[in-house]
Amino acid sequence: MTPTGTVAALCVGTPHSLGVEDAEDPFDRPWTSGIFKAPVEGALRLSSLGFSGDVQADLNVHGGPDKAACVYSATHYPDWQRTLATDRFTFGAFGENLTIEGLDERLVCVGDVWSLGDAIVQVSQPRQPCWKLARKWRRRTLTEEVVSSGRTGWYSRVLREGSVAAGATLSLVERLHPEWTIAAANLVMHQREGDTAALARVGALSASWRHTLERRLQASTDTRP
C-alpha cells in the first residue's frame, strides 16, 4: 500500500528572546530561538527556504534549502504529552512546520518525493533536535530522549514551490531509497548501526549529514593499523 499523510497543522513562528541575566536556574537565563511555532489558518507559500512567515534564529544549524520544512508525526504527541505532563503540548510544540497524521519515521524514507498541496518536496534527512528543544520544555534530557526514541521527525527540501494549508494530503510521488527509512538513517547516525558508507552515498541526503558521515568514515580509516 502506498503511504499517504495529512497535514494536521501548519505551524510557523518568529524568534523569541527569553530569560533574564544572572538567573540562578540556567533555564531562566537569556536565549533566543525560533522553536516557538503555532498553527495558522489558511494557506502559506512554501518556497525553497521555507514557509512565508517562518523565521529561524540560528541559520548556522537551522533553515536553508535542505531544511526548508520540518515535519513531525502527530502519532507521537500522546506519548510526549504524558512524558512532559503538560496540557500545553499542542501541534507545533516540537518546533515543526508540519504536523502530519498517517506517517512516521518507519514509513518515510530519505529521498522520498511527495506532493504537498501545490508544492513538491523531497525528504532530505532526519531531524537532529538541538538543546533548544530541552530548553523550551525545561527538561534537560529531552533532546537525548527524542534521539533515543527514534521519534525525531524529518526535514524536506522543496523541489517545486507552492501553496500549502492544513488538511493538505501528502502523496508519495517517487521512492528512490526504500531501504533508507528515517528510522534506519537514525540508527546509523546515532546508534552506529547499519551501513554508514551506503547512507553517505545517498545523493538525496542533506549535505550536512553526508559531511558528518564522510568525516566519520575518514576517521575510521585513519585509525586503522
pLDDT tens figures, 4-15: 999 999 999 999
- What is the reported pLDDT for 8? 98
Asked if the structure places residue 201 within a domain, the reply is no
- Mean pLDDT for 201-207 is 97
- What is the reported pLDDT for 87? 81
pLDDT tens figures, 7-45: 999 999 999 999 999 999 999 999 999 999 999 999 999
DSSP H helices, the chain, are: 77-84, 131-137, 142-149, 182-186, 196-200, 207-222
State the cell numbers at 58.
540560528
- What is the reported pLDDT for 224? 63
Asked if the structure places residue 203 within a domain, the reply is no
Closest by CA to 156, choosing from 206, 119, 121, is 121
Q: Which amino acid, 7?
A: V
- What is the reported pLDDT for 122? 98
- What is the reported pLDDT for 88? 82
Asked if the structure places residue 224 within a domain, the reply is no
The total number of structural domains in the chain stands at 1
Asked if the structure places residue 23 within a domain, the reply is yes
**CATH number, domain containing residue 117:** 2.40.33.20
Q: In Å, what is the CA distance from 154 to each residue of 18, 86, 187, 199, 221?
A: 27, 24, 14, 16, 29
Count helices and strands in the chain by DSSP H and E runs: 6, 13
- Mean pLDDT for 123-139 is 95
Q: Is 153 left (phi over 0), alpha (psi -120 to 50) or beta?
A: left
Overall residue count recorded for the chain in this entry: 225
How far, in Å, CA of 221 to CA of 197, rounded? Answer: 12
Asked if the structure places residue 111 within a domain, the reply is yes
pLDDT tens figures, 88-117: 889 999 999 999 999 999 999 999 999 999
Q: In Å, what is the CA distance from 191 to each residue of 42, 155, 207?
A: 40, 20, 20
Q: Which residues contact 221 (CB under 8 A, 6 or more apart)?
A: none
Query: What rounded mean pLDDT belongs to the chain?
Result: 95
Domain of 61, in residue numbers: 4-177
Instruction: Give residue 133's pLDDT band: very low, low, confident or very high (50, 70, 90).
Output: very high
pLDDT tens figures, 54-70: 998 887 778 899 999 99
Asked if the structure places residue 104 within a domain, the reply is yes
pLDDT tens figures, 154-185: 999 999 999 999 999 999 999 999 999 999 99
- Mean pLDDT for 184-208 is 97
State the cell numbers at 92.
507545533
Helix, strand, or coil here: 157? strand
- What is the reported pLDDT for 187? 98
